[in-house]
């Protein structure tokens, strides 16, 4: 698939996947490489991905997600997290830009100070919101890139956050934002797309 609108229209939340299909590593690498182009606040790239393909691991996730059957059928179950401390790595990211000659030293100093000051002044709620916001945008791009490669997905939130953190050894500073099940959708369990609001119901031109 390469037509953007076609990808957008064809993406559906899968109800169930065809079992026993392996996602080639190259597909993951290409998807994640293109995913690096997703936007993030101050380019801090808050999103992290934990990709479970092992059946035992997927079963553990299934049990920590209220036994939602589709997880068991997925080729991969992925947890997307957002790092509340992403701002602490600003220097690493901006050093890259300085090295490439995109910014000079004074711009570098200005950005690092501004980012640290903002995240520390606006505090825990802002760090948490940032984790959710940035990981959500990344996850949406991930699902479209997966569809572009012929893979189906389903975004999911119905899981026990602390259990999932334990199972996947997710560090304290990362918020589990979304689970994405991935594989080839079983067309037998295809559902008609749910009602969508009319544009006038959710858009206000001021
Ligand atoms: C944040 C979020 C959480 C969701 N959580 C679940 C979930 O826990 N289980 C599930 O089966 N589907 C879940 N979905 C999928 C929605 O039900 C689905 O996107 C919606 O019905 C629209 O269908 P479509 O994606 O096929 O267009 C979730 C979707 C989003 C965006």
pLDDT the model gives residue 191: 86
Kindly give, in sequence order, each residue whose CB lies less than 8 Å from that of residue 154, ignoring residues fewer than 6 positions away. Answer: 13, 14, 15, 70, 180, 181
pLDDT at 2 over 70: no
Which residue's CA lies nearest to atom 17 of ligand 1? Answer: 13
| pLDDT for the residue 189 | 83
Between the CA of 93 and the centroid of ligand 1 the distance, in Å, is 33
Choosing from 72, 77, 135, 154 the residue with most ligand 1 atoms within 8 A of its CB, the one to mutate for a pocket test is: 154
Give 105-111 contacts, CB < 8 A, sequence gap 24+: 111/42
User: Ligand 1 centre from 150 Cα, in Å?
Assistant: 19
Confidence of residue 1 (pLDDT cuts 50, 70, 90): low
Percent of the chain with pLDDT over 90: 97
What are φ and ψ of residue 192, in 5° steps? -65, 140
Q: How many residues does the chain have?
A: 206
Mean pLDDT of 31-37: 98
CA–centroid distance, 12 to ligand 1, in Å, is 9
What integer is the mean pLDDT of 115-123? 98
77 CA to middle of ligand 1, Å?
15
Task: Determine the average pLDDT of the residues in 95-103.
Answer: 93
For ligand 1, what atom is nearest to the CA of residue 178? 1
Whether this model's pTM surpasses 0.85: yes
Residue 156 has phi, psi (to 5 degrees) of -140, 145
Alpha carbon distance 187, 14 (integer Å): 9
State which of 73, 156, 183 you would mutate to test the pocket of ligand 1, scoring each by most atoms of that ligand within 8 A of its C-beta.
156
Please tell me the distance between residue 111's alpha carbon and the centre of ligand 1 in angstroms.
Answer: 37
- The CATH number corresponding to 4-185 among 3.40.109.10, 3.20.20.60, 3.40.50.970, 3.30.9.10 equals 3.40.109.10
Determine the angle formed by the axes of helices 25-35 and 105-148, rounding to 10 degrees: 140
Angle at 85 between CA 83 and CA 107, to 5 degrees: 115
């Amino acid at each position: 698939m390469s037509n953007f609108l076609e990808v957008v229209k064809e993406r559906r939340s899968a109800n169930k996947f065809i079992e026993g299909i392996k996602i080639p590593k190259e597909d993951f690498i290409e998807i994640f490489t293109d995913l690096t182009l997703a936007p993030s606040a101050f380019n801090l790239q808050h999103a992290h991905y934990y990709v479970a393909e092992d059946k035992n691991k997927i079963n553990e996730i299934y049990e920590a997600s209220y036994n939602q059957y589709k997880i068991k059928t997925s080729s991969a179950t992925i947890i997307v997290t957002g790092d509340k401390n992403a701002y602490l790595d600003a220097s690493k990211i901006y050093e890259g830009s300085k090295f490439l000659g995109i910014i000079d030293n004074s711009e570098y100093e200005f950005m690092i100070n501004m980012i640290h000051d903002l995240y520390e002044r606006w505090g825990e709620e802002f760090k948490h919101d940032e984790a959710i916001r940035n990981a959500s945008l990344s996850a949406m791009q991930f699902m479209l890139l997966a569809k572009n490669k012929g893979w189906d997905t389903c975004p999911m939130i119905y899981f026990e956050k602390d259990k999932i953190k334990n199972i996947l050894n997710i560090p304290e500073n990362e918020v589990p934002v979304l689970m994405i099940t991935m594989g080839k959708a079983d067309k037998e369990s295809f559902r008609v797309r749910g009602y969508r609001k009319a544009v006038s119901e959710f858009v206000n031109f001021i």
